[in-house]
Amino acid sequence: MDAHIEAILAELYQEGQANDAHQEDRRQKMLNLEPETARFVSLLIRSSRRKKILEIGTSNGYSTLWLAWSAQQTDGHIISIDREPEKHTLAETNLREAGLHERVDLRCGDATEIVATLEGPFDCIFFDADRYSAPNQLALLFPRLTSDVLLLADNVLSHPAEIAGYLAAVQSLPDFDHMVIPVGKGLSVAYRAV
Protein backbone atom coordinates (compact mmCIF):
# COMPACT_ATOMS: atom_id res chain seq x y z
CA MET A 1 0.00 0.00 0.00
CA ASP A 2 1.12 3.52 -0.83
CA ALA A 3 2.66 5.30 2.19
CA HIS A 4 0.36 8.29 1.64
CA ILE A 5 -2.76 6.11 1.93
CA GLU A 6 -1.32 4.28 4.94
CA ALA A 7 -0.76 7.63 6.66
CA ILE A 8 -4.32 8.77 5.94
CA LEU A 9 -5.72 5.49 7.28
CA ALA A 10 -3.65 5.72 10.46
CA GLU A 11 -4.76 9.32 11.03
CA LEU A 12 -8.43 8.50 10.36
CA TYR A 13 -8.37 5.60 12.78
CA GLN A 14 -6.72 7.67 15.52
CA GLU A 15 -9.18 10.53 14.98
CA GLY A 16 -12.07 8.09 15.09
CA GLN A 17 -10.85 6.55 18.34
CA ALA A 18 -10.37 9.99 19.92
CA ASN A 19 -13.84 11.10 18.77
CA ASP A 20 -15.55 7.97 20.06
CA ALA A 21 -13.84 8.17 23.47
CA HIS A 22 -15.64 11.41 24.34
CA GLN A 23 -18.73 11.30 22.11
CA GLU A 24 -21.97 10.30 23.86
CA ASP A 25 -24.27 10.31 20.80
CA ARG A 26 -23.90 6.98 18.99
CA ARG A 27 -24.81 8.58 15.65
CA GLN A 28 -21.87 10.97 16.03
CA LYS A 29 -19.38 8.19 16.77
CA MET A 30 -17.16 6.98 13.93
CA LEU A 31 -17.20 3.34 15.06
CA ASN A 32 -14.38 2.52 12.67
CA LEU A 33 -13.50 -0.99 11.69
CA GLU A 34 -10.60 -2.47 13.65
CA PRO A 35 -7.36 -2.25 11.60
CA GLU A 36 -6.82 -6.02 11.65
CA THR A 37 -10.37 -6.59 10.40
CA ALA A 38 -9.84 -4.00 7.65
CA ARG A 39 -6.67 -5.80 6.53
CA PHE A 40 -8.46 -9.15 6.53
CA VAL A 41 -11.40 -7.79 4.52
CA SER A 42 -8.94 -6.24 2.06
CA LEU A 43 -7.17 -9.58 1.71
CA LEU A 44 -10.47 -11.35 1.02
CA ILE A 45 -11.48 -8.82 -1.62
CA ARG A 46 -8.13 -8.79 -3.39
CA SER A 47 -7.55 -12.54 -3.31
CA SER A 48 -11.03 -13.35 -4.64
CA ARG A 49 -10.93 -10.48 -7.18
CA ARG A 50 -14.15 -8.76 -6.03
CA LYS A 51 -15.27 -6.00 -8.40
CA LYS A 52 -18.82 -4.95 -7.48
CA ILE A 53 -18.81 -4.11 -3.79
CA LEU A 54 -21.54 -2.61 -1.61
CA GLU A 55 -20.69 -1.19 1.81
CA ILE A 56 -23.45 -0.34 4.24
CA GLY A 57 -21.94 2.01 6.84
CA THR A 58 -19.42 4.51 5.43
CA SER A 59 -18.79 6.61 8.55
CA ASN A 60 -15.71 8.82 8.01
CA GLY A 61 -14.51 6.59 5.20
CA TYR A 62 -11.92 4.51 7.08
CA SER A 63 -13.29 1.15 5.92
CA THR A 64 -14.31 2.70 2.59
CA LEU A 65 -10.70 3.70 1.95
CA TRP A 66 -9.59 0.12 2.60
CA LEU A 67 -12.29 -1.15 0.23
CA ALA A 68 -11.42 1.43 -2.42
CA TRP A 69 -7.72 0.60 -2.27
CA SER A 70 -8.59 -3.11 -2.55
CA ALA A 71 -10.94 -2.41 -5.46
CA GLN A 72 -8.18 -0.46 -7.18
CA GLN A 73 -6.17 -3.70 -7.22
CA THR A 74 -9.08 -5.67 -8.77
CA ASP A 75 -10.35 -2.91 -11.09
CA GLY A 76 -13.51 -2.88 -9.00
CA HIS A 77 -16.00 -0.27 -7.82
CA ILE A 78 -17.82 0.42 -4.56
CA ILE A 79 -21.16 1.87 -3.57
CA SER A 80 -21.04 2.98 0.07
CA ILE A 81 -24.05 4.16 2.08
CA ASP A 82 -24.31 6.24 5.26
CA ARG A 83 -27.27 8.11 6.71
CA GLU A 84 -25.29 10.93 8.34
CA PRO A 85 -24.56 13.90 6.00
CA GLU A 86 -21.54 14.99 8.08
CA LYS A 87 -19.96 11.55 7.78
CA HIS A 88 -20.76 11.46 4.07
CA THR A 89 -18.85 14.74 3.64
CA LEU A 90 -15.93 13.50 5.75
CA ALA A 91 -15.70 10.30 3.72
CA GLU A 92 -15.75 12.19 0.44
CA THR A 93 -12.95 14.49 1.64
CA ASN A 94 -10.86 11.56 2.85
CA LEU A 95 -11.34 9.56 -0.37
CA ARG A 96 -10.30 12.59 -2.43
CA GLU A 97 -7.22 13.12 -0.29
CA ALA A 98 -6.25 9.48 -0.85
CA GLY A 99 -6.90 9.74 -4.59
CA LEU A 100 -9.49 6.96 -4.44
CA HIS A 101 -12.74 8.90 -4.84
CA GLU A 102 -13.31 7.68 -8.40
CA ARG A 103 -13.58 4.10 -7.11
CA VAL A 104 -16.51 4.95 -4.82
CA ASP A 105 -20.08 6.09 -5.33
CA LEU A 106 -21.10 7.58 -1.97
CA ARG A 107 -24.81 7.57 -1.14
CA CYS A 108 -26.33 9.45 1.79
CA GLY A 109 -29.64 8.40 3.31
CA ASP A 110 -31.51 5.49 4.84
CA ALA A 111 -29.63 2.34 3.84
CA THR A 112 -32.71 0.13 3.46
CA GLU A 113 -34.41 2.68 1.21
CA ILE A 114 -31.27 3.09 -0.91
CA VAL A 115 -30.65 -0.66 -1.09
CA ALA A 116 -34.16 -1.10 -2.50
CA THR A 117 -33.22 1.10 -5.47
CA LEU A 118 -29.87 -0.49 -6.33
CA GLU A 119 -29.63 -2.59 -9.46
CA GLY A 120 -26.53 -4.67 -8.77
CA PRO A 121 -25.34 -7.25 -9.32
CA PHE A 122 -22.93 -7.30 -6.37
CA ASP A 123 -20.20 -9.84 -5.73
CA CYS A 124 -19.41 -8.55 -2.22
CA ILE A 125 -21.58 -6.94 0.46
CA PHE A 126 -20.08 -5.50 3.64
CA PHE A 127 -22.61 -4.83 6.42
CA ASP A 128 -21.20 -2.45 9.03
CA ALA A 129 -24.05 -0.22 10.15
CA ASP A 130 -27.42 -0.78 11.84
CA ARG A 131 -27.38 -4.49 12.60
CA TYR A 132 -31.15 -4.68 13.16
CA SER A 133 -31.97 -3.64 9.57
CA ALA A 134 -29.31 -5.88 7.99
CA PRO A 135 -31.68 -8.91 7.53
CA ASN A 136 -34.16 -6.75 5.58
CA GLN A 137 -31.34 -5.30 3.49
CA LEU A 138 -30.02 -8.80 2.77
CA ALA A 139 -33.49 -9.91 1.64
CA LEU A 140 -33.73 -6.92 -0.71
CA LEU A 141 -30.25 -7.57 -2.08
CA PHE A 142 -30.53 -11.33 -2.48
CA PRO A 143 -31.88 -11.23 -6.07
CA ARG A 144 -29.03 -8.85 -6.98
CA LEU A 145 -26.16 -11.04 -5.81
CA THR A 146 -23.82 -12.77 -8.22
CA SER A 147 -23.67 -16.55 -7.96
CA ASP A 148 -20.10 -16.21 -6.66
CA VAL A 149 -20.73 -13.78 -3.79
CA LEU A 150 -19.07 -12.88 -0.50
CA LEU A 151 -21.20 -11.53 2.39
CA LEU A 152 -19.34 -9.86 5.25
CA ALA A 153 -20.63 -8.37 8.50
CA ASP A 154 -18.70 -6.83 11.40
CA ASN A 155 -19.38 -6.80 15.17
CA VAL A 156 -20.49 -10.43 15.44
CA LEU A 157 -18.64 -11.05 18.71
CA SER A 158 -19.00 -7.55 20.18
CA HIS A 159 -22.79 -7.24 19.58
CA PRO A 160 -24.16 -10.81 19.39
CA ALA A 161 -27.75 -9.95 20.33
CA GLU A 162 -27.99 -7.12 17.81
CA ILE A 163 -26.62 -9.16 14.91
CA ALA A 164 -28.45 -12.41 15.71
CA GLY A 165 -31.18 -11.72 13.13
CA TYR A 166 -28.64 -11.18 10.39
CA LEU A 167 -26.74 -14.34 11.29
CA ALA A 168 -29.96 -16.36 11.28
CA ALA A 169 -30.82 -14.92 7.87
CA VAL A 170 -27.40 -15.81 6.45
CA GLN A 171 -27.46 -19.30 7.89
CA SER A 172 -30.84 -19.94 6.25
CA LEU A 173 -29.55 -19.06 2.77
CA PRO A 174 -29.12 -22.04 0.46
CA ASP A 175 -25.67 -22.98 -0.87
CA PHE A 176 -23.71 -20.67 1.44
CA ASP A 177 -20.75 -21.63 3.59
CA HIS A 178 -20.62 -19.45 6.70
CA MET A 179 -18.23 -18.91 9.56
CA VAL A 180 -17.35 -16.29 12.14
CA ILE A 181 -13.72 -15.19 12.14
CA PRO A 182 -12.46 -13.99 15.56
CA VAL A 183 -10.69 -10.94 14.18
CA GLY A 184 -11.36 -7.47 15.60
CA LYS A 185 -14.92 -7.41 16.90
CA GLY A 186 -15.83 -10.59 15.02
CA LEU A 187 -16.38 -10.90 11.28
CA SER A 188 -19.13 -12.98 9.69
CA VAL A 189 -17.97 -14.41 6.36
CA ALA A 190 -20.44 -16.18 4.07
CA TYR A 191 -19.59 -17.41 0.59
CA ARG A 192 -21.66 -18.89 -2.21
CA ALA A 193 -20.16 -20.48 -5.29
CA VAL A 194 -22.77 -22.27 -7.43
Give residue 86's pLDDT: 92
**What is the C-alpha separation between 194 and 191, in angstroms, rounded?**
10
Domain positions in the chain are: 3-193
The model's pLDDT over 5-63, given as tens digits with 9 standing for 90+, comes to 999 999 999 998 888 799 888 878 888 889 999 999 999 999 999 999 999 999 999 99
CATH classification code of 3-193: 3.40.50.150
Q: What is the pLDDT of residue 32?
A: 86
Query: Which pLDDT does position 194 carry in this prediction?
Result: 75
